[in-house]
């Protein structure tokens, strides 16, 4: 998959807070910094993201998108 966003960081999922509609995914990047992203519960289920998974944070403007490859 190709992206227009050039800022991409690999990370490891450390915590998932699942709500009724939205979920917050917390992850750490290699230097140990903590980051998080909020996505719909539907997207969380479709991506199959779980704690311990490796994800890519794709950052463009104010959006942080997670990609599981």
Q: What pLDDT, on a 0 to 100 scale, did the predictor assign at position 38?
A: 93
3-class DSSP assignment, residue 42: helix
Q: What pLDDT, on a 0 to 100 scale, did the predictor assign at position 63?
A: 66
Higher pLDDT, 31 or 5: 31
Tell me, what CATH number does 18's domain have? 2.40.50.100
Does residue 1 lie in a domain region?
no
14 in Cβ contact with 37 (< 8 Å): no
For residue 65, which of 27, 32, 33 has the smallest C-alpha distance? 27
The two structure tokens encoding residue 60: 């463009």
Domain count along the chain: 1
Q: What pLDDT, on a 0 to 100 scale, did the predictor assign at position 2?
A: 73
Give CA–CA dist 29/21, Å, rounded: 26
Q: What pLDDT, on a 0 to 100 scale, did the predictor assign at position 61?
A: 72
Q: What is the pLDDT of residues 18-66, one digit of tens each?
A: 999 999 999 999 888 999 999 999 999 999 999 999 999 888 777 667 7
Domain that holds residue 20: 7-67
């Amino acid at each position: 998959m190709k992206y227009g966003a050039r800022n991409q960081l690999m990370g490891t999922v450390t915590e998932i807070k699942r709500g009724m509609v939205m979920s917050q995914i917390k992850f750490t990047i290699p230097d140990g910094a903590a980051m998080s992203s909020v996505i719909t519960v539907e997207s969380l289920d479709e991506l199959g993201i779980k704690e311990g998974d490796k994800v890519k944070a794709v950052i463009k403007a104010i959006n942080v998108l997670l990609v599981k490859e």
